[in-house]
Amino acid sequence: MKRSRTSKAWMQEHLSDQFVKRANQEGYRSRAAYKLMELDDKDKLIRPGMAVVDLGAAPGSWCQVVVERLKGKGRVFALDLLEMHPMHGVEFIQGDFTEDAVLQQLENLLGEQPVDLVISDMAPNMSGMSVIDQARSMHLAELALDFAQHWLKPGGNFLVKVFIGSGFEELVKTMKPQFDKVVIRKPKASRDRSAETYLLGLGAKRDGKTGV
């Protein structure tokens, strides 16, 4: 089969992308690494000694950034439906975050340890039907928020990928009472034409796990 014009154009754009080139040169698993770097440089999310949970971690570029910035002090827990090649300093679970059994597996790994930072770059498998894809995306963001609400320490932070559209404003409203501050971030490594953006909850107001 011949490639469609759309797929050819995407490949051409991808290969000429400055962040793709940098990732290849600097040893990161994907261009997404630069999104987290920019966000962390601005908001100081990652510090040595932290416990960090990365949801939707594969292929692992966000984990790479977290491990580097923890400087060997802290723990990283990662989860994804897809396989991720092992990485030193990362405890990885392969499974579907929407399934209770997989969530339980992650919670068992955490034990009684509340976390300092939850980051989620999860996205659904796109069907091409915008209404369905948006609903699935918001559902993943809501599940990530629910997890963060139960496991973040007081003062902890939550970063989640969302797509501007139906349900976005409602999610912002849901987050606001739970954090000292909620901001919207669009890193330079996010393509301009993409509706992708990031919601950042700074300073969790309570630890849902312990009820503080």
43 is in an annotated binding site: no
116 is in an annotated binding site: no
Q: Which residues are catalytic?
A: 161
151 is in an annotated binding site: no
Residue 89: how many CA atoms within 13 Å on its side-chain side? 20
60 is in an annotated binding site: yes
Rounded Cα gap, residues 33 and 57, in angstroms: 11
Rounded Cα gap, residues 108 and 74, in angstroms: 18
Q: Which residues 6+ apart lie within 8 Å of 178 measured at CB?
A: 145, 149, 201, 204, 205, 206
121 is in an annotated binding site: yes
Annotated binding-site residue numbers:
60, 62, 80, 96, 121
Annotated binding-site residue numbers for S-adenosyl-L-methionine:
60, 62, 80, 96, 121
